[in-house]
Amino acid sequence: MTLKLVSFDLCPYEQRASIALAEKNVPFERINIDLANKPDWFKAISPLGKVPLLVVGDAVLFESSVIVEYLDETVEPRLHPADALTKARHRAWMEFGSSILANIWTIETASDEAAFEQAVAQVGEKFARLEGVLGEGPFFSGEAFSVVDAVFAPVFRYFDGFERRIDLGVFAGKPKLVGWRKALAARGSVKEAVVPDYAERLLAFVDRHGGVLAARMADRKAA
């Protein structure tokens, strides 16, 4: 049975599931949809009208955290640590990663300067918090790749795109975070989780929204 992963081309939450599937060598079919013109079949099977979805036979799973937990419970190798307390700690940092994605959405789309600056500052503060808990690496918990890594790889990937035009400075003075970011970017499962022209599509998305980030990128390019 081939699993089907339903999403759209820029979804960071879908990337979590895609990375987990690749780490476990599970074959799957990726189906991208247009969220601005959702097909009827998608609306019929998505209770919240959101992506990603994982179609397992006749069953449909929604919410990326649920999808990743299901995969980790049913397919080896396990990406979560075995120790219950460590696993709970990892799950808490996964939620922390989701909060950063909310800040990044504001960075991408905000038309208000104050909201934009606040979101950038919040990402910088959260990255500083991460810097304080990271060990020697290369991954979140050391040598072993875990679900936390699958959560943060899409977070860092945004800045790979942004930095083609502008450096927001959120990685400055955070050498452990920079090392973690580089290790994730080099991982095969992370590379394969997006389309080859992901960065170009991301920047086009920013341009279409015409917010503060788009304006600053345009000013930097003109300079």
Catalytic residue among 6, 10, 11, 177: 11
Query: 3-class secondary structure for the chain?
Result: CCEEEEECCCCHHHHHHHHHHHHCCCCEEEEECCHHHCCHHHHHHCCCCCCCEEEECCEEEECHHHHHHHHHHHCCCCCCCCCHHHHHHHHHHHHHHHHHHHHHHHHHHCCCHHHHHHHHHHHHHHHHHHHHHCCCCCECCECCCCHHHHHHHHHHHHHHHHCCCCCCCCCCCCHHHHHHHHHHHCCHHHHCCCCCCHHHHHHHHHHHHCCHHHHHHHHHHHC
Q: Is 93 a catalytic residue?
A: no
Residues with catalytic function: 11
